[in-house]
Structure 1
């Protein structure tokens, strides 16, 4: 039954592609725009040795099972790469529609409530109304969010994308619009390949980029897991536990830890309730606070006995100190990055009731 439903969903996806309306208005004078998403903002396909692939992020039918069997990974400290536990497949970001397909609607098969899996969809639709054209002035760059923001393969793909956009647009310099963790990837590239960045980029607009880390997000992820959708859609999505077991092996997550050298206006704290006993055995509940540096001990304690079972084997997944060391090196690269003089940089951020401290 599940296989039949999946085949029907895939047929609907193909049908939706066939009825896509042609663009009515194109402005050939616009400068090219490259959209770069944040964490989990790219479709990911698992491809076997015969070239057969299936979407494993994001999907509704069989979501949690496919996520655990195809995306669960281990970090390799010798290469800095997060490697899938499944040896029969590798993860690929689809390149259709000049990279836009992977960052538009993350589950194209979803019909009802599909706005919960929109990423850049609304922006793409609006920009095309303004006259932007896919493959001429509008492009996307999706990436494997499990990997480090300085993962060499991703940076090489980004360099090739910049050159391809520059060529397709007739030699016009590029406007990059990044969101969230995509800003860290762009910043790493700018730091390590400043000559290429300056050659092809005119403007960089970073939206809600966690340049100094995302302490609240990280604490929640390490201790409680993470859900990317709310409400009834969670019943069709992956569990917070499954996502948790993936993210604690992803260097990109550790690279979102709070920057220790930043002069925070309000120091981000991890606060937890602890049960304490006095010498008479009486129990008291106290609230303890930990700085970003001190929080590492809490993460180590909380994850010390964490394990997963994969293909019949019990695999230990504690808080990974090797990834932490890798992330510290990434932080050094990020802290030294400078925008080339000929590139204009715009940093868009906001605060609201859910923001735990000032952001800059």
Structure 2
């Protein structure tokens, strides 16, 4: 047991011998990785996602971005720094407590406790960080198919495979992390077969996530609700980033999938014809919704 609840427990110092476990890699979903702003020359590295204090200000200054169609990457407006994902604690730090400040730990603000409980449970069950337990956080702004994300995942699988003595890796992915794994499996089938034993996908939007994505593109996204939202990144601020992120568009609804209930957007629209004004509730399916998004974002700045 740790000496202070603000800093949690340290199971790595256990005197019990490590259990016989296949290596396990945890992969986060959209917004489920800590992002740092690292100066290209000199200065301090700053956590810009996730944070509670000064969240909205730092988010606008450091992580607001534009999509570059020439490179395929979403690039920060702040040209003096790079957005990086910390790889501390064998990749687990970036997906554990997303705001690991002492304040969050002391008040136990569980809204930002991402893989924390699962990591603690796995360690108690005999998994050892750096030997049989690893994490993979990534820059969720980017397309899930980009080389940088694919190369990082390949390196993490190789590391887990070698650290465990050549045992194949089991993967647990959450949400958009499943899309990332699917892209990797499609683009690097030989590497996937060489290193991966089993893959468990939790709440993965294989056919898209129309409810979340439609709302995100039209009104923005909030990860924290209620009183805590006043200390977090605002819905509008987040919206200005996400509309520039290819990963969001990769989770639009699949129009060819046989949905039990077809996803749709319902919009009240005003029509003026021959001086007569009518307001109608109109419905748009996955394909027709594209025109709604284009119209809504046409003058976005």
- Quote the offset at 1:113 in angstroms: 4.3
In structure 2, the partner of 1:353 is: none
Distance across 2 between alignment mates of 1:224 and 1:96: 34
Cα-to-partner distance string for 1:29-78 (whole Å, 9 max, x where unaligned): 11110000000000000001236311000011211111011111111111
Report the CA distance shift for 1:21/1:158 in structure 2 as closer, same or farther (over 3 A). Answer: closer
> Which residues of 2 match residues 122-201 of structure 1 at below 5 A?
122-201=117-196
Cα-to-partner distance string for 1:154-175 (whole Å, 9 max, x where unaligned): 1011111110000011111100
Distance across 2 between alignment mates of 1:304 and 1:219: 16
In structure 2, the partner of 1:225 is: 220
Cα-to-partner distance string for 1:196-230 (whole Å, 9 max, x where unaligned): 00000000000110000011111100111000111
Distance across 2 between alignment mates of 1:280 and 1:79: 48
In structure 2, the partner of 1:248 is: 243
Is contact 2:11–2:123 with CA below 8 Å preserved after alignment?
no
Distance across 2 between alignment mates of 1:84 and 1:192: 27
2:69 paired with 1:88: no
What TM-score results when the alignment is normalised by the length of structure 2? 0.93
Count of paired positions:
292
Distance across 1 between alignment mates of 2:285 and 2:123: 45
Three-state SS of the structure 2 residue aligned to 1:60 is coil
In structure 2, the partner of 1:38 is: 29
- Quote the offset at 1:291 in angstroms: 1.0
Distance across 1 between alignment mates of 2:299 and 2:12: 55
> What 5-or-longer segments of structure 1 have no aligned partner?
1-12, 308-360
Between 135-144 and 256-265, the greater mean CA deviation after superposition: 256-265
> What 5-or-longer segments of structure 2 have no aligned partner?
none
Distance across 2 between alignment mates of 1:48 and 1:125: 33
Distance across 2 between alignment mates of 1:300 and 1:276: 19
- Quote the offset at 1:304 in angstroms: 1.4
In structure 2, the partner of 1:297 is: 291
2:252 paired with 1:257: yes
Q: Alpha carbon RMSD of aligned pairs, Å?
A: 1.7
Three-state SS of the structure 2 residue aligned to 1:125 is helix
- Quote the offset at 1:95 in angstroms: 0.6
Three-state SS of the structure 2 residue aligned to 1:189 is helix
What TM-score results when the alignment is normalised by the length of structure 1? 0.78
Three-state SS of the structure 2 residue aligned to 1:175 is strand
Between 249-258 and 75-84, the greater mean CA deviation after superposition: 75-84
Distance across 2 between alignment mates of 1:199 and 1:21: 31
In structure 2, the partner of 1:53 is: 45
2:279 paired with 1:285: yes
